[in-house]
């Protein structure tokens, strides 16, 4: 049986993508690199430096590490400014109910986000008390698709990987969940998330009973 449910943040629990977009757009404009909302789709679930490198590639630009670190820090400043406008209105439909229902079923709840700002985002969204543990992306060695951030939740919650189910909206996140030997629930496009064990179009569509009837992963 499942003992824990682990959730990605952006795209599963909250809509922070539009705020990331506003911040990256300012950086792209400064660099003179065309960047629109469609381009921003490719950054979902991608960590901060990986996102910057993607934008630089779009513009055919290369910068040295210190210039990149400076820009990444500037983007984060813009993002933190934008976060002051975040509220429970940015919680995705059905997300708060899903967390409450999962807790009600006795599951331990963890957040496994690529965002180093996950704690602030959850606080702004009014969800910090709705979960038991928030993994720190700054403390894991490898970002998604590596399993590290999901395994950090396993350690902290005192469960085994094969007792967990993970929820993700990005393909790299589904890969991370599978690499951690967990059942993966995809939220979004069934073609993009084809490697998930079960897919729902949106968080609001998740049928938790159906999820919990899945067989957990085999112990490794």
8 has catalytic annotation: yes
CB of 5 to ligand G16, least distance (A): 15
Which residues, 6 or more positions from 109, have their beta carbon under 8 angstroms from its beta carbon?
Answer: 4, 5, 6, 7, 99, 102, 103, 130, 131, 132, 133
10 has catalytic annotation: yes
Annotated catalytic residue, options 10, 47, 148, 175: 10
Is residue 113 near ligand G16 by the rule CB under 6 A? yes
For residue 96, give the nearest of 121, 127, 134, 122 by alpha carbon. Answer: 127
Is residue 8 near Mg ion by the rule CB under 5 A? yes
Tokens 């709705």, residue located: 130
Indicate which single residue of 2, 5, 19, 20 sits in contact with ligand G16 (rule: CB under 6 A). 20
Q: In this chain, which stretch among 25-33, 43-51, 126-134, 212-220 interacts with ligand G16, using CB under 6 A?
A: 43-51
Q: What is the CA radius of gyration of the chain?
A: 17
108 close to 156: Cβ distance less than 8 angstroms: no
Q: In this chain, which stretch among 2-10, 29-37, 88-96, 179-187 interacts with ligand G16, using CB under 6 A?
A: 2-10
Distance CA 57, CA 169 (A): 24
x-or-dash string of contact with ligand G16, 158-177, rule CB under 6 A: ------------x-------
CB of 13 to Mg ion, least distance (A): 9
- Active-site annotation, residues: 8, 10
């Amino acid at each position: 049986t499942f003992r824990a449910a682990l959730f990605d943040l952006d795209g599963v629990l909250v809509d922070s993508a539009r705020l990331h977009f506003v911040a990256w757009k300012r950086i792209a404009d400064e660099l003179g690199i065309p960047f629109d909302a469609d381009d921003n789709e490719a950054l979902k679930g991608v960590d901060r430096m990986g996102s910057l490198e993607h934008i630089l590639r779009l513009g055919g630009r290369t910068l040295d590490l210190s210039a990149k670190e400076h820009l990444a820090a500037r983007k984060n400043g813009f993002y933190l400014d934008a976060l002051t406008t975040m509220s429970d209105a940015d919680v995705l439909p059905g997300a708060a109910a899903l967390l409450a229902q999962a807790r009600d079923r006795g599951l331990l709840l963890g957040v496994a986000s690529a965002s180093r700002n996950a704690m602030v985002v959850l606080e702004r969204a009014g969800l910090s008390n709705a979960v038991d543990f928030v993994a720190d992306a700054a403390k894991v060695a490898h970002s998604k698709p590596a399993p590290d951030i999901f395994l950090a939740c396993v350690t902290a919650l005192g469960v085994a990987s094969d007792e967990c189910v993970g929820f993700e909206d990005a393909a790299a996140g589904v890969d991370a969940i599978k690499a951690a030997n967990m059942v993966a629930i995809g939220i979004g496009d069934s073609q993009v998330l084809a490697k998930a064990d079960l897919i729902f179009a949106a968080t609001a569509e998740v049928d938790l009973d159906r999820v919990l009837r899945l067989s957990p992963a085999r112990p490794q």
